[in-house]
Amino acid sequence: APAPAAAAAARAPAAAVADKPASEAETTVRVDTARLDDIMNMVGELVLVRNRLVRLGLNSGDEAMQKAVSNLDVVTADLQTAVMKTRMQPIKKVFGRFPRLVRDLARQLKKE
């Protein structure tokens, strides 16, 4: 069995993470972009099916059907938004290289 001090040390990082606000405790996962693109395509297909069902539900006199289609509409929209946010990259990654590029270009043009 591990020593009590070792067990306490092992628990300390978990407690520290739990005390942090959600934004600081977030982690990232690498996912192949092809997989994300596949999920985005499937969500796109789901949106098309949802739109057809919404049209059919509006023409239906069945209140239960209209309610179910309305729920599907909300869930599909939420899923679509979540998938789109998943594919987004932090803007810092895009613009983070510009200062170096500008500095190198200024040096090249002797405009330091």
The rounded distance, in Å, linking the Cα atoms of 13 and 30 is 23
Give the whole-angstrom CA distance, residue 62 versus residue 28.
45
Asked if residue 55 is part of any domain, the answer here is yes
Alpha helices, DSSP H, located in the chain: 4-19, 22-25, 33-59, 63-87, 91-95, 98-108
Structural domain boundaries, residue 55: 33-108
Structural domain contains residue 12: no
- Exposed/middle/buried for 50, CB within 10 Å: 0-12, 13-18, 19+? buried
Rounded mean pLDDT of 32-38?
Answer: 88
User: 50-88, pLDDT tens digit by residue?
Assistant: 889 888 887 878 888 888 888 998 999 999 898 888 877
Question: What's the number of domains the chain is made of?
Answer: 1
* Residue range 16-33: mean pLDDT, rounded: 67
Dist. CA 96–CA 25, nearest whole Å: 23
Q: What percent of the chain has pLDDT over 90?
A: 12
Q: What pLDDT sits at residue 23?
A: 57
CATH code for the domain in which residue 38 is found: 1.10.287
